[in-house]
Structure 1
Amino acid sequence: MTSPRRRAMTSPALAAFGRQFRRHRERAGLSQARVAQRTGKTASFVSQVESGKKRCRRDFVEIMDPEFRAGGVLLNLYDDLNGDGGLGFPTWFDWPDVEGEADVLTWWEHSVIPGLLQKESYARAFLAADEAVAARMARQEILTREVPAPVCLIAYISERVLTNFIGSKEVMREQLEHLTVVSELPNVTIQVVVNDDGVPVATGGAFIVATMRDRSEVAYLDTTVRGITTDDENDLAGLARTLRALGSRALPANMSRDLIRKVAEEKWT
Structure 2
Amino acid sequence: MGQEPKKLTPSKSAKDRFGSEVRRYRDLEGISIAALAHKIPYSASYIGDVERGDSGCVREFAEACDGALNTREALQHLWDALFATAGSPVPEWFTTWPKIVDDAILLRVYDPIVVYGMLQTPEYAAAVLFDDQAKIEDRLARQAILTKANVPRLVYVLPEWVLYHDIGGPEVMTAQLERLCEAASPRLTIQVVPNGQPHQGNQGRFTLATLPNGAEFAYTEMAVRGMILGSPDDLALLRDQFESIRSHALPSGMSIDLIKRTVEERWKI
Please confirm whether the aligned pair reaches a TM-score higher than 0.5, indicating the same fold. yes
Aligned to 2:45: none
Aligned to 1:266: 265
Query: TM-score of the superposition, structure 1-length normalised?
Result: 0.68
Aligned to 2:216: 217
Distance 1:97 1:53 in 2: 8
What is the 5 A alignment of 1:1-269?
20=14, 48=51, 50-52=53-55, 76-78=77-79, 91=93, 93-127=95-129, 128-146=131-149, 149-183=150-184, 185-197=185-197, 199-269=198-268
- Letter of the structure 1 residue corresponding to residue 114 of structure 2: V
Structure 2 stretches lacking a partner, 5+ long: 1-11, 21-47, 67-73, 83-91
Distance 2:253 2:13 in 1: 40
- Letter of the structure 2 residue corresponding to residue 154 of structure 1: V
Distance 1:22 1:224, change over 3 A: same
Distance 2:195 2:245 in 1: 10
Report if aligned partners of 1:117, 1:140 keep a CA contact under 8 Å in 2: yes
Distance 2:97 2:144 in 1: 15
Distance 1:116 1:92 in 2: 15
Distance 1:53 1:125 in 2: 33
SS where residue 218 of structure 2 aligns?
strand
SS where residue 181 of structure 1 aligns?
helix
- Letter of the structure 2 residue corresponding to residue 168 of structure 1: G
Distance 1:93 1:19 in 2: 17
- Letter of the structure 2 residue corresponding to residue 192 of structure 1: V
SS where residue 181 of structure 2 aligns?
helix
1:217-250 residue CA offsets vs partner (Å, 9 max, x unmatched): 1000011111100011111111111112112110
Distance 1:153 1:262 in 2: 23
Report if aligned partners of 2:15, 2:56 keep a CA contact under 8 Å in 1: no
How many residues are treated as equivalent by the alignment? 207
* Deviation at residue 160 of structure 1 after TM alignment: 0.8
RMSD value, Cα: 3.4
Aligned to 1:67: none
SS where residue 128 of structure 2 aligns?
coil
Query: TM-score of the superposition, structure 2-length normalised?
Result: 0.68
Distance 1:118 1:78, change over 3 A: closer
Distance 2:56 2:97 in 1: 18
Distance 1:50 1:200, change over 3 A: closer
Report if aligned partners of 1:143, 1:152 keep a CA contact under 8 Å in 2: no
Distance 1:218 1:19 in 2: 22
Distance 2:164 2:56 in 1: 45
